[in-house]
Amino acid sequence: MSPHFLAGLNEPQLEAVTLPSQSALILAGAGSGKTRVLTTRIAWLIQTGQVSPHGLLAVTFTNKAAKEMLTRISSMLPINTRGMWVGTFHGLCNRMLRMHHAEAGLPSLFQILDTQDQLAVVKRIMKSMNLDDELYPPRKGLWFIAGNKEEGRRPKDVEAYDEFSEQMVKVYAEYDQQCRREGAVDFAELLLRSFELLSNNDLLREHYRNRFKHILVDEFQDTNKLQYRWLQLLAGQQNAVFAVGDDDQSIYAFRGANTANMQHLQRDFHIERVIKLEQNYRSHAHILDAANALINHNRKRLGKNLWTSEGKGEPLRVYEAATDLEEASYVVQEVKSLRSDGLSLGEIAVLYRSNAQSRVLEHALFNASLPYKVYGGLRFFERQEIKHALAYLRLVANADDDGAFMRIVNFPTRGIGARSLDQVQEISRSRGITLWAAACANTLSGKASASIAGFVRLIENIRIATAGLPLPEVIDHVIEGSGLKQHYKTEKEGADRLENLAELVTAAASFIAERELQPLDEGVAEPDDLSAFLAHAALESGEHQAIAGADALQLMTVHSAKGLEFHTVFISGMEEGLFPHENSAKEDEGLEEERRLMYVALTRARRRLYMTYAQSRMLHGQTRFNVASRFFQEIPAQLMRKTKAAPRPLLQPSYFANRGYSGNVPVQPKVDMGNIDSGSPWKIGQSVVHAKFGSGVIVTAEGRGADARVQVNFRNGGLKWLMLEYANLAPA
């Protein structure tokens, strides 16, 4: 009699679960029940007596997934799962090293360093080596160490190729010695030390090979090189590795994920046939057909085709907006409509490629009083880098702001320690003055006095340099002059923070454009732009925050959405340079990962899917005209229903001109060509087609008559100037 937990499995799922004791690769498409297959496989192996609960090892990528796996197993079998080896790579390696600390050369109570602990060690080492932290940023030293550990390299194995890498190897070597002296390990060390332990200790390696006859791995497409080598070492030639993954959902190359491990597994463990789970239990057919068509443009894939018995469903809705503000407005109106039809906000997600995109969406939701949550991150005005920049602005606007002073006095670090700050605070308390006044009094001595004086000069210089400048230029100057921009350039994942800081400039420009249209209260003095903007930021940072458990719209990046599903999904910002991102679309590998990211976005939706884009978008404080994402061309037209915005009145730039702001302003594309002949058929923002360069958008125009020319942003050719007389352009 078959175990009860096999009931309801489809044919490929049942085949995967009941495979003989052999290595296997299960190619599990989105929504195909991979977690069920993995946990049911474990239950089946135990139920049929092929292995005891303590004779198998299962690896996941998050603690949450590990807990869910154990919960599912205990619901299928009456066993105690507490002692089972189910967990993340780091968690399992930590467990192994705790049990064999002596053999691994570690104290019994070894400490695990977090990122901040590691950074502190690297900074001390670099200081002792007299390295200039501008030439050799400590964070880059941290990445250098982690990157080499994840490749399985100790300092002696690292080949230096220039002066920078020579110094980094020395830092790595000293860091390695320091950690050994202190009996401490970092996260990358857990895996590397565990790998070395198994490599160098034959008895221990054989012990674990004899114990773990079955090794099961979830999200196999996300494994890196060292993780794969660790699994190889643990399995040997006799044990079975049951790997479940989806190469089409591999979106973490920037973290070291190596999709080639799936091919390596087939070769190294002699897997002749890959079992494909292609029946999707999540989405309607139109959504899956779009995802299949899109991902089929990737050349380096194992290949599968998702299908469903749930019916075709609705076409994908594509909306072309004139501006990013209009795009956000459309999303809000559609969300309101869905809500009025009875759909809960928690069943709706708005996805975007870059964190900085959330700001315009948040502003529209705030104005519409729609509750929302930013999943896996913070609201725009609550993000660390934004709060730092706002604190500089607050102190520039009001020197008596003690909260702003405390936040930025030593950020980025400028050698002002806790003791020096205590002294400044004591002066403030004893004299009944603000911290700024106490810092200006500066009765400290030595290095502390010089550091405090340097901070005071910095703020005063910013205040002088920005006097009379338009608000966007003030913010741009503060981001640069404060050192925030340079600081985040040295962070491994600082690109996101830099994009957010650039978006703060855009937020200021948009705020002024909206402010021009708002009526003034009679008899009430109008605050200056900076004060008004700071008040606006404060209001949007905390008000209308959805409380825990409340029904709220979900906002998130596509990366954060992996593993989640929703009734309705909006994918916003579908433009070339944004999605696919301009930093990734220039190389085949990068473009294929962007396409996998889009595949993930599409397959989050169960019933309804929207894709939106804007002809013009304010990015980094400048308006740019956009070409629709190439991904639209990779989805069959019959699967989509396209609509576009009706023409709307233009915003006037007079407010900016009156304040001396000469940069780009958030206005809609003009419908006249200025100094081009008024009778010309070509308009800025117009979509066009060229016989050689393909489709594009006119972004600039100049000259008249025979000298008239236009600049076109081509989807595949970038920006090009064309003389109208010889352009061979045609309307799209």
463 is catalytic: no
> Which position among 41, 604, 607, 608 bears the catalytic label?
604
The answer to whether 318 and 639 are in contact (CB under 8 A) is: no
What is the Cα–Cα distance from 469 to 37, expressed in whole angstroms? 62
- Secondary structure (3-state) at 689: strand
> Which position among 18, 35, 263, 425 bears the catalytic label?
35
Instruction: Tell me the CB-side half-sphere exposure of residue 463, using CA atoms within 13 A.
Output: 12
249 is catalytic: yes
> Which position among 174, 186, 218, 320 bears the catalytic label?
218
CA pseudo-torsion sign 674, 677, 678, 680: negative
CA angle 265, 269, 274 (to 5 degrees): 65
CA angle 212, 213, 216 (to 5 degrees): 80
> Which position among 150, 186, 189, 219 bears the catalytic label?
219
225 is catalytic: no
3-state helix, strand, coil in the chain (%, to 5): 50, 15, 35
Cβ contacts of 103 within 8 Å, gap of 6 or more:
197, 201, 204
Judge residue 662's burial from the number of C-beta atoms within 10 Å of its C-beta, 0-12 exposed, 13-18 middle, 19 or more buried: exposed
Residue 154 — φ and ψ, nearest 5°?
A: -85, 170
Q: How many CB atoms lie within 10 A of CB 410?
A: 17
> Which position among 249, 259, 308, 623 bears the catalytic label?
249
218 is catalytic: yes
The answer to whether 454 and 426 are in contact (CB under 8 A) is: no
Alpha-carbon separation of residue 153 from 137, 172, 173, 188, 607 (angstroms): 21, 11, 11, 11, 48
What is the Cα–Cα distance from 42 to 53, expressed in whole angstroms? 9
- Secondary structure (3-state) at 685: coil
Residue 553 — φ and ψ, nearest 5°?
A: -65, 140
604 is catalytic: yes
447 is catalytic: no
User: DSSP string spanning 18-85?
Assistant: T--SS-EEEEE-TTS-HHHHHHHHHHHHHHTTSS-GGGEEEEESSHHHHHHHHHHHHHHSSS--TTSE
Cβ contacts of 82 within 8 Å, gap of 6 or more:
none
| Nearest alpha carbon to residue 55 among 242, 212, 235, 231 | 212
Alpha-carbon separation of residue 648 from 361, 365, 456, 670 (angstroms): 19, 21, 48, 11
Active site (catalytic) residues:
34-35, 218-219, 249, 604
